[in-house]
Structure 1
């Protein structure tokens, strides 16, 4: 089971559950945040399944008692319409301007749009600050986020495509980074998901205790023309070696789909709950 009783979080540990692609359940400060959720149906871009289609090999129940939905981008692998249609429209949403348009059209009633540099306070427990994230096309830059507990001061940095703003160098250390570790490349285009080198730079800037791989993982089967062209580069194991070569104590984690990581930030080994 991946559901964690809120009473268990009184010891200030952090719980992260991965649901494939960029989909996460974040639990700390007695709050439950659903991040870029893809929980039901297939993943298709632009209603073009012949181009790209992702299918979950295992389904999971939609998490209950969600305090906030957090969306970094308006693309389908971040603001997944079939999933958002299944969730309660009264759950508060914090979103990039592009993602806010998606949930507004779906009838969500509590939407906070964050542009770069703006912050949102969740019941005086968690602060979410938007930073520049991934470029989508020639003019649009989506959101990355710093998610910080206001009592524990524990913090997460999330950027799902590996585009890390130089403004991160001005920040204090971050406990946990969620970002791609494996690069995905297309011929003539280059990296559409930046992994190894980009993630290493973020670790050097932020000195996290843990970095969790996202975007390229999970228990998912893909098909379509685009899949035949994508080339993967790197691995979590190789990245751990890079960290050690740079004398960084950060632990790289390849999260398993549907399993909850309990991160005890004063220790180096996370506990996996089946």
Structure 2
């Protein structure tokens, strides 16, 4: 398995010869409802669009996970798997193969040479009182390597039935908004996740590094914790989960659990 962090919540996942572009934001600024006064995030150096993408995977229908300008720039022939909340957006942009996964449903993307990757949807981030977006478990059908992704730190109890999981991509920092509370859960949430999934590795997501923030919203947000604090909490809990910290553009090589190889940054 190869995991390339494209900054923020965007990842390129190579698993069993399937290249999956996850929650991509690669083109133009990131805003909320086109209200730049509220939030505008820009890449210092925009990531390149990958030369090959076999599948686009969207966890939410919100702008920071289903970024319109990026989706406009990608090939509309690429199949899309998404939360039900993102369906109207991607179909409206002209994508012809769109699969919405409700919680508990599974999609399998096969290749000519490999058994492919299965993607199972779980409850993820609550968006208001009536909508819960998706978390995903990706399983390589050849070697059984398994990855979990949820970008806001809301992890379903049913995930424990899937343990052990090799890698989780989840926030390690808690982010709070005045009068609202935690909108992103890290720290203890990440430790509980590591324990329930018997994780080998934990990778942070959401905390953009090579980006610049503007607008009112960033000044109101308060962040607590991070990778170092998470390592300390994992040690206190007696967990062997290793926290990896890729930089934007790094490609991590993750070997199957049966392999003696340790994670490395691929050339």
TM-score class, shorter-chain normalisation, is over 0.9
How many Å separate the matches in 1 of 2:30 and 2:262? 33
Q: How many residues align?
A: 261
Aligned counterpart for 1:155 among listed residues 142, 146, 154: 146
Aligned to 1:223: 214
Residue 235 of structure 2 aligns to a residue whose secondary structure is helix
How many Å separate the matches in 2 of 1:100 and 1:31? 22
Aligned counterpart for 1:37 among listed residues 6, 24, 29: 24
How many Å separate the matches in 2 of 1:147 and 1:207? 16
> When the two structures are superposed, what TM-score results if normalisation uses the length of structure 1?
0.93
Aligned counterpart for 2:64 among listed residues 77, 97, 103: 77
In the TM superposition, residue 263 of structure 1 has moved relative to its aligned partner by 1.6
How many Å separate the matches in 2 of 1:208 and 1:218? 25
How many Å separate the matches in 1 of 2:134 and 2:100? 11
- CA-to-aligned-CA distance 1:217-240 (integer Å, 9 cap, x gap): 331111110110101100201111
How many Å separate the matches in 2 of 1:267 and 1:23? 29
8 A contact 1:144–1:159 mirrored in 2: yes
Aligned to 1:206: 197
Structure 2 runs not aligned, ≥5 long: none
Residue 142 of structure 2 aligns to a residue whose secondary structure is coil
How many Å separate the matches in 1 of 2:109 and 2:266? 27
Aligned to 1:247: 238
Aligned counterpart for 1:176 among listed residues 167, 181, 192: 167
How many Å separate the matches in 2 of 1:213 and 1:185? 17
- CA-to-aligned-CA distance 1:19-76 (integer Å, 9 cap, x gap): 1111000002011000000011000010100001101111222002211000000000
For residues 70-109 of structure 1, the aligned pairs below 5 Å read 70-109=57-96
Distance 1:135 1:260, change over 3 A: same
Aligned to 2:50: 63
Q: Mean Cα displacement is larger for which, 258-267 or 211-220?
A: 258-267
Aligned counterpart for 1:270 among listed residues 245, 256, 263: 263
8 A contact 1:147–1:155 mirrored in 2: yes
Alignment RMSD: 1.2
Aligned to 2:118: 127
Aligned to 1:191: 182
Aligned to 2:105: 118
- CA-to-aligned-CA distance 1:159-190 (integer Å, 9 cap, x gap): 01000011112222100000000111111111
How many Å separate the matches in 2 of 1:114 and 1:206? 22
Residue 88 of structure 2 aligns to a residue whose secondary structure is helix
Distance 1:51 1:247, change over 3 A: same
> When the two structures are superposed, what TM-score results if normalisation uses the length of structure 2?
0.95
In the TM superposition, residue 267 of structure 1 has moved relative to its aligned partner by 4.5
Structure 1 runs not aligned, ≥5 long: 1-13
How many Å separate the matches in 1 of 2:47 and 2:179? 37
Residue 184 of structure 1 aligns to a residue whose secondary structure is strand
Aligned counterpart for 2:130 among listed residues 125, 130, 139: 139
